[in-house]
């Protein structure tokens, strides 16, 4: 074993960063044995130096992150500060000064991963980011290494624990969205401002990363269609149950049937209770991968939190340090296919549509005509009427999303349609 330690700079010392530092200290001997050399925490960049950080030598604390990554003796930089800047500048500066990087920054990777990959390649350094997508769940490495010889056609997953907790609470108790969100906040699953989670921004960033790796093409955050779950109601959950389904906020990345394009989207969807993702409860994450040779694979576990995320960070640290000792680098960007990302309107989906209609003869015929005019085939219809009003639930066969959206707009214009109570896509068959 080499006796001279590999030096590590830690950018950020919040929930994840402090746990990374703790594990590096308490498991130092094991890490050294697995790597082949000791690792030493050489500096910790923070914004608030006065805060007490148990187990970390105060002499390591600095507010000058740029100076830390420029030191020249740093072997690996661990970035857990998040956001676009200064994280992007710090990571590229680290590469320029000889360090490899382990990051958990999903927003930056989804927004400008190409810049980071290019800088890493230019300077012959590693960029690892297992913790950016699904916490402790090993997912990035299986996709870009274990399945590198296969053809991945679809990635379907629950990649945000907060939203899964909310929807699970709504399904189990009949609670409305606001009530379920309040409980998620009280338990610490939701931030004071939950927008990034409940509006799907967090999941969309992860979908962009997954699609890029799975399909060997560049997919940015702006390429991902996004809907949140704020409009999901208790009535939607009840409708799903009547269909033998549940509702999940899904990140869906697909290769087109002709192989000439890809899609990436995040939205609530009904999935059959028979699908493996339907059983994912509480704040857990799970990702379902469909590959040509490997078949169907599912990755499941805690997708957030200090300890689970730190586990993924430390796994990357071990891999990067081993590469450093071997004077090698791991996989970089694989974007050779250069496939275009199709808009949501071209995506073929199914819809579950609940209409409030007048309870009189001919209404169903009018509704069916609208579907036919837009080239959308109906799978099932359920109608229930009382006191001159009725509820009409239509489930469609698969059709281009643009045709389904056009159908809904045309339905809104019918005199016999009082309103569209809910619209939700159906996935997972």
| Contact of 334 with 144, CB cutoff 8 Å | yes
Q: Of 206, 248, 386, 413, which one is the catalytic site residue? A: 206
Does residue 206 carry a catalytic annotation? yes
What residues act catalytically? 206
């Amino acid at each position: 074993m080499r006796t001279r330690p590999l030096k590590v700079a830690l950018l950020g010392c919040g929930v994840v960063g402090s746990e990374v530092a703790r594990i590096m200290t308490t498991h130092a001997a094991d890490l050294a044995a697995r790597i082949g050399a000791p690792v030493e925490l050489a500096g910790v960049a923070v914004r608030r130096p006065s805060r007490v950080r148990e187990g970390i030598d105060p002499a390591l604390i600095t507010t000058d992150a740029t100076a830390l990554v420029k030191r020249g003796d740093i072997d690996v930089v661990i970035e857990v500060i998040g956001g676009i800047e200064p994280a992007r500048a710090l990571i590229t500066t680290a590469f320029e000064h000889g360090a490899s990087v382990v990051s958990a920054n999903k927003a930056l990777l989804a927004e400008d991963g190409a810049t980071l990959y290019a800088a890493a390649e230019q300077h012959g350094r590693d960029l690892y980011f297992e913790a950016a997508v699904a916490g402790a769940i090993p997912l990035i490495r299986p996709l870009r290494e274990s399945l590198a010889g296969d053809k991945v056609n679809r990635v379907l997953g629950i990649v945000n624990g907060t939203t899964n907790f909310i929807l699970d609470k709504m399904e189990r108790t009949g609670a409305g969205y606001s009530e379920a969100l309040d409980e998620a906040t009280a338990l610490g699953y939701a931030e004071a401002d939950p927008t990034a989670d409940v509006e799907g921004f967090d999941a969309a960033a992860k979908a962009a990363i997954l699609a890029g790796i799975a399909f060997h093409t560049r997919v940015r955050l702006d390429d991902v269609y996004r809907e949140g779950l704020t409009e999901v109601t208790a009535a939607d959950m009840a409708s799903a149950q009547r269909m033998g389904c549940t509702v999940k906020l899904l990140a869906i990345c697909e290769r087109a049937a002709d192989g000439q394009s890809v899609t990436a989207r995040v939205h609530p969807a009904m999935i059959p209770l028979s699908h493996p993702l339907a059983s994912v409860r509480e704040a857990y994450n799970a990702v379902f991968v469909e590959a040509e040779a490997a078949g169907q694979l599912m990755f499941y576990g805690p997708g957030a939190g200090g300890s689970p995320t730190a586990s993924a960070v430390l796994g990357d640290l071990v891999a990067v340090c081993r590469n450093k000792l071997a004077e090698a680098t791991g996989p970089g960007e694989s974007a050779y296919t250069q496939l275009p990302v199709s808009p949501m309107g071209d995506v073929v989906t199914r819809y579950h549509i609940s209409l409030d209609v007048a309870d009189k003869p001919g209404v169903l015929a009018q509704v069916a005509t609208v579907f036919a005019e837009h080239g959308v085939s109906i799978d099932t219809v359920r109608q229930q009427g009382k006191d001159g009003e009725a509820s009409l639930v239509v489930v469609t066969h698969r059709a281009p999303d643009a045709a389904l959206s056009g159908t809904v707009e045309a339905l809104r214009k019918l005199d016999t349609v009082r309103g569209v109570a809910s619209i939700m896509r159906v996935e997972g068959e």
